[in-house]
Structure 1
Amino acid sequence: MIVATAGHIDHGKTTLMRALTGIDTDALPEEKARGISIDLGFAHMDLPGGGIIGFVDVPGHERFIRNMLSGVYAVGHVLLVVAADDGVMPQTAEHLAIVGLLGVAGGTVVITKADRADPARIAQVQAEMRALLADAGCGGFGMVTVSAVTGAGMDRLTARLAEVAAAERRAGGAGGLARFVVDRVFVAQGSGTVVRGTVIAGAIAPGDTLTISPAGIPARVRRLQRHGRAADRAQAGERCAINLAGIDHAAVARGDWLVAPAAHRPTDRIDIRLRVLPSEAGALKHWTPVHLHIGAADIPARLALRRGEALAPGQEGLAQLRLSRPVQAAAGDRLILRDQSSTRTIGGGAVVNPFPPRRRAERAAVLAALDGRGMAEGLAALLDTLPGGVGMGWFAALHNLAADRAAALLPPDAVRIKATAFSAQQVERLGRKAAARVERFHAETPAAPGMDLRRLHAETARALPFETFQDLVRQSARGWGLDLSGSQLRRADHDPTQNPQDERNWRLIHPILDHSGFHIPSARELAEETRIPLAMVRDLMHRKAATGALVRLTAERFTLPHVMEAAAEKAAAAARRIPGGQFKAADFRDEIGTGRTIAIEILECLDRLGRTVRQGDRRGMAPEP
């Protein structure tokens, strides 16, 4: 478990750390000279019952809030330190507000310097803190009074930390792809670049290849340390130091992330749910300049609100951040906003969508589906909302999930078309729309074999990429009562030849084809025999083939389905007569009693139908399905 300190300057945070762990967290010479914490300090404590607590000691001075913010991100517990003699001070309140905005679930108020105050003063400070906690929505915090000098109360504080750590171990760490927030970079003698920070999600081990995000630089984990000891794994909720192989220390900095390659997807626009602190003097308006603190990064940004909207002090709402540079983010990441001069905290909240669509209507639909919902519920809402379906790669990146974990969240009746998912209801709605349009097409052009798929796409499903629409039609057409033939879609029972002229011509052509057997006449021969214009014969034959009434051998030769069935039986007979079952075109020609040209045309058609398989100059029968 990771525990961060918080509280006003000179209230005893570093002294408390030294009393708990025996480690001086003020490591910088300037800190020792000035007697104040300037940057993050780190310590750890072995628990009596097993396990380790890692501590991040943060500076309390208002000038170093930026450093403080990079240390309290994603910790499991906070020790809010208040000196008994001073009581509540400005950074006590600001640090508590930050803790609340970051969503830290648990905390303990530690009233220090008890040796400097009488019981009445201590009771007064306790009452002040209870009121402050209640106002901040942190009424569940515990409270312990200690003296790091005399040791009074330290055993109670240690026992409380052990209880909290045990509860966190039972709850387990977060899942997802590996994400590590970098809050310190240095060069170790003989090892090279080392980064320190917190594993936010997933796990990291020596040998792993990660990506420095947002720069996109690949990096291999050479070695790993937890609390100064070599480790073979660090998982979500743990601090560690990572020795990176072949990476110059200038290539990575505080505020960067180390992430699994699949999680690297930088963004410079983030949709958020924002809560403005009640202490703000005025409302936040559209295009307000702010500083975004997310992970250990501090990024200038602009707050984008709908035209005419504003967020008043104490109000909560949806907004978008336009960042001055890209950042690594995922849904649920907590964030803090400070004012343009970075002198005060103005609000905070959580990422709703780190990859918002550019189109306003689609963005609003995505926010409505995601805001306030868990992953599975949000996915179900997206499936039923977005006409273009849900890109599962986008959804996986949104929640920092591996592809298989994202797919496991799909409802059982969802329809997958490669990387896009649709709800069953959405596919049914699209099917009804497509069927109605095809029906109108048949009414308008009854002699046409079907409606061109690209035209249908343009008129009914522009929100979908054509390739996705085409695959969806291929998969679902039968369920919609439609048939797809080539690039044309028709009603399953539609026959474009059911009109008086086609029926008259068919009555002349059909007997000729039926009686010709394997001596299949060409379209020109049929035209000459029936005295029907050649163009009309060709057109009718192609439309009959689209309905399945004819089988197309070539663009000029068609036959009836029962003739092709008989041809397949003849091919099987030829195969039985030849040792090994491999026959030549001449063997088949002799079997059906035709010329070589027609025999080869029939065989090539049988190949296309999957009835025969060609190997060189021989053929065999295809295996039974």
Structure 2
Amino acid sequence: MGKKYYTIGMAGHIDHGKTTLTKALTSVDTDRLKEEKERSISIEPGFAPLYNDAEMEISVVDVPGHERFIRQMIAGVAGIDLVVLVVAADEGVMPQTKEHLDILALLGITQGIVVLTKISKVEEELRDLALEEVIDELKGTVFEGATILMADSLSGEGVERLKQIVITTLKGMASKSVRGDFRLPIDQVFTVKGQGTVVRGTVFEGTLDTGEEIIILPQGIHTKAKQIQAHHRKESSVFAGQRAAINLSGVDYKEIKRGNVLVTSTHFTVTNTIDVCLKVLRAVNHPIKQRMPIVAHVGTSEVMGKLVFFDRNKVDSESDDILCQIRLNETIVAKRGDRFILRRPTPMETIGGGWIIQPNGGKYKFGEETIALLQSERHGSPQERVLRLVEQYKCVDEGFIIREASITHKDLRDILEGEDQWIVFSQSNVTHMKIVDECVNSIEHILRGFHEEFPLLLGINIGELKQSLKRYSGALVDFAIEQKHWKRNNGFLSLEEFIPHLPPEWEKRCNQLITLMEADGTQVKDMEKYFHQVGIPEKWQSDFYHFFIQEKKIVSLDDKKSYSYQVFLKTVEELKEKTGERFDIADAKAALGLSRKYLIPFLEKLDKDGLTLRTEGIRKWIGTSIKG
């Protein structure tokens, strides 16, 4: 197994010690801005490396705790695997503690550790009261039953234990998938003198290599990863779950902003209408109305829009999921399963969140028909979800399917064994026969086009064919090739019925060229003179030359002279008849009457093709095949 990468988030109320605890864990002060230093509060998410060995790397994101910086908090926790909820023992659970808990739950973050900090400031009795309060507040939340620790960042008490529990917990968790297409939502953009534009973010999925082509969405700006860093270390690649800084080539930093997304594939959806499954918080202070303005947070993006219901006009407080739509004022990058947070722009409050069931929302009518459609999108059978993944990625491993389609291993086995159209390759890669047929048709199309453009060649190099079919894995292309009776010839592939041939418009001149060479016998001119004599342009000469060799029309003596195949064959037979088992240059010259200009290349061709073996000036006949 490869190395795993994780990011944990420090969340909690302002001044409860998140940044100090992060520093105690990592020796890094994540408050880097001048204003943060002056005011002793975090304004932007801060990042630091926590742990790194051969098996795993863990990064920390310290998010702002002040209510005015909730937008930065949401951007910071996007993509984290585990949260450390920080509660000061001298203050207990505060408003932002609760809001952070709500946001984390809505984002689908279920793994958490609670830390009571500043324990040196309170008596043991108050610590116990604070602990009881935390336990009570966690009841009914996804963090009920979470590990609760006590720590003091200044004295170091409990810090090492916290670190070890984080490491142990993450070792038991699956890491983000490196199999999907690369995606990094940007949370910071800046410029470095002499380097240019740099963006930072947590890699949601996939991998990126230095020098690889990148697309910045939703703008569609094409660039390259000029340099990659992870916590100030220069890296050749970066992987899902890892914090990364990417130095972009030829892009002005003013063209990019937080919320944009780096990808390496064109498969990602850019949209301004998303169908969603929404959960509204119970503690909402104001009614939620049809088409009310909202602020949507998806990944690291923050976009204004409106909320559209299809089965109601108002929500006061709701515990059940609501199937609805968000229409945004700007485009975002989204995919099924992405989490989002909704906030009211004024008065500002978090009203709910959930997950995206369809990133390409349509225009629907109010009523039960639309709700039924959204229910179908929301649930979909496990087989439909697996097929959707295979249609997108063409060939995926079983672990990736289980995570992305939200199904169990048993579900997947039932699907694969229940229909013979599913195909499983080595290393548990899965595809479907419809994808194989699609690949076969693509190969057929490429071969026909190649034969039309290059009728002289045996076929297309299989390596080049796979490069043209990058959207399919190499194993899938090999499997598809085996499905039809195509011809293989020394690493080249062609249609079964294809025979290399001269283009009709040049056939007469080429035949004339061979006739001229045969007439000249062993006293041939340079090949370019024959081409010139019959009027074949220079741009075609190399292709025709190799075709003549391939089809045994000529035999190349050196880079300038060739014999017609029949003349070469006749000359070899003549030399055999007029010499014994062994002969030297003088014997060959007497037998054939050739000058050294022709004789030496001819004899060396015999050696090269294994017809003769030369030892100290004497040649011995040893073979019979002519290689051309």
Matched position secondary structure for 2:96: helix
CA distances 1:188-230 after superposition (whole Å, capped 9, x unpaired) = 1221111000111111111221211111111211111111101
2:90 to 63, 71, 85: 85
Equivalent residue, structure 1, for 2:344: 339
1:28 to 15, 20, 33: 33
CA distances 1:587-609 after superposition (whole Å, capped 9, x unpaired) = xxxxxxxxxxxxxxxxxxxxxxx
Matched position secondary structure for 2:363: coil
Distance 2:231 2:213 in 1: 22
CA distances 1:468-507 after superposition (whole Å, capped 9, x unpaired) = xxxxxxxxxxxxxxxxxxxxxxxxxxxxxxxxxxxxxxxx
**Matching of residues 197-596 of structure 1 within 5 Å:** 197-306=201-310, 308-315=312-319, 316-341=321-346, 343-360=348-365, 364=371, 366-373=373-380, 376-378=383-385, 401-405=392-396, 412-413=420-421, 416=434
Query: What's the offset of the Cα at 1:156?
Result: 1.2
Matched position secondary structure for 1:161: helix
Instruction: Tell me if structure 1 keeps the 8 A contact 2:231–2:244.
Output: yes
TM-score, normalised by the number of residues in structure 1: 0.60
Instruction: Tell me if structure 2 keeps the 8 A contact 1:216–1:264.
Output: no
Distance 2:397 2:306 in 1: 32
Matched position secondary structure for 1:108: strand
Query: What's the offset of the Cα at 1:402?
Result: 2.3
Distance 1:50 1:405 in 2: 24
Distance 2:199 2:112 in 1: 27
Instruction: Tell me if structure 1 keeps the 8 A contact 2:10–2:60.
Output: yes
Instruction: Tell me if structure 2 keeps the 8 A contact 1:211–1:264.
Output: no
Instruction: Tell me if structure 2 keeps the 8 A contact 1:84–1:113.
Output: yes
- In structure 2, the CA distance between the partners of 1:417 and 1:249, relative to structure 1 (3 Å rule), is closer
For the pair 1:158 / 2:149, whether they are aligned, the reply is no
Equivalent residue, structure 1, for 2:65: 60
Query: What's the offset of the Cα at 1:415?
Result: 8.3
For the pair 1:14 / 2:19, whether they are aligned, the reply is yes
CA distances 1:261-302 after superposition (whole Å, capped 9, x unpaired) = 323431010001110001013542221211001111110111
Distance 1:202 1:140 in 2: 33
Equivalent residue, structure 1, for 2:103: 98
Equivalent residue, structure 2, for 1:144: 149
Query: What's the offset of the Cα at 1:314?
Result: 3.5
TM-score, normalised by the number of residues in structure 2: 0.60
- In structure 2, the CA distance between the partners of 1:29 and 1:224, relative to structure 1 (3 Å rule), is same
Query: What's the offset of the Cα at 1:306?
Result: 1.1
- In structure 2, the CA distance between the partners of 1:95 and 1:140, relative to structure 1 (3 Å rule), is same
Equivalent residue, structure 2, for 1:184: 188
Instruction: Tell me if structure 2 keeps the 8 A contact 1:200–1:236.
Output: yes
Matched position secondary structure for 1:23: coil
Matched position secondary structure for 1:155: helix
Instruction: Tell me if structure 1 keeps the 8 A contact 2:178–2:207.
Output: no
Distance 1:302 1:396 in 2: 33
- In structure 2, the CA distance between the partners of 1:59 and 1:98, relative to structure 1 (3 Å rule), is same
CA distances 1:300-351 after superposition (whole Å, capped 9, x unpaired) = 1111001534444232211100000110000110110000227211101111
Distance 2:54 2:144 in 1: 28
Instruction: Give % identity.
Output: 36
Instruction: Tell me if structure 2 keeps the 8 A contact 1:44–1:54.
Output: yes
Which amino acid is 1:185 matched to? V
- In structure 2, the CA distance between the partners of 1:220 and 1:417, relative to structure 1 (3 Å rule), is closer
Query: What's the offset of the Cα at 1:137?
Result: 2.6
Distance 2:45 2:207 in 1: 23
Query: What's the offset of the Cα at 1:370?
Result: 3.0
Which amino acid is 2:219 matched to? A
Which amino acid is 2:197 matched to? T
CA distances 1:146-180 after superposition (whole Å, capped 9, x unpaired) = 00111111121011111123223x55636321110
Distance 1:406 1:148 in 2: 43
Query: What's the offset of the Cα at 1:254?
Result: 0.5
Instruction: Tell me if structure 2 keeps the 8 A contact 1:369–1:378.
Output: no
Distance 1:374 1:109 in 2: 37
Which amino acid is 1:290 matched to? I
Query: What's the offset of the Cα at 1:359?
Result: 4.9
Which amino acid is 2:130 matched to? V
Equivalent residue, structure 2, for 1:456: none
Matched position secondary structure for 1:127: helix
Distance 1:62 1:47 in 2: 33
Equivalent residue, structure 2, for 1:107: 112
**Matching of residues 35-46 of structure 1 within 5 Å:** 35-46=40-51
Equivalent residue, structure 1, for 2:506: none
**Structure 1, unaligned stretches of length 5 or more?**
381-391, 421-625
- In structure 2, the CA distance between the partners of 1:236 and 1:417, relative to structure 1 (3 Å rule), is closer
- In structure 2, the CA distance between the partners of 1:332 and 1:268, relative to structure 1 (3 Å rule), is same
- In structure 2, the CA distance between the partners of 1:262 and 1:36, relative to structure 1 (3 Å rule), is same
Which amino acid is 1:402 matched to? Y
Equivalent residue, structure 2, for 1:450: none
Distance 2:270 2:55 in 1: 39
Instruction: Tell me if structure 2 keeps the 8 A contact 1:60–1:68.
Output: yes
- In structure 2, the CA distance between the partners of 1:406 and 1:112, relative to structure 1 (3 Å rule), is closer
Instruction: Tell me if structure 2 keeps the 8 A contact 1:74–1:104.
Output: no
Equivalent residue, structure 2, for 1:175: 179
Instruction: Tell me if structure 2 keeps the 8 A contact 1:274–1:318.
Output: yes
- In structure 2, the CA distance between the partners of 1:150 and 1:185, relative to structure 1 (3 Å rule), is same
CA distances 1:551-581 after superposition (whole Å, capped 9, x unpaired) = xxxxxxxxxxxxxxxxxxxxxxxxxxxxxxx
- In structure 2, the CA distance between the partners of 1:207 and 1:324, relative to structure 1 (3 Å rule), is same
**Structure 2, unaligned stretches of length 5 or more?**
1-5, 402-414, 422-431, 439-628
Distance 2:185 2:74 in 1: 12
Distance 1:406 1:225 in 2: 29
Which amino acid is 1:254 matched to? R
CA distances 1:15-48 after superposition (whole Å, capped 9, x unpaired) = 1111111111110011111111111111112357
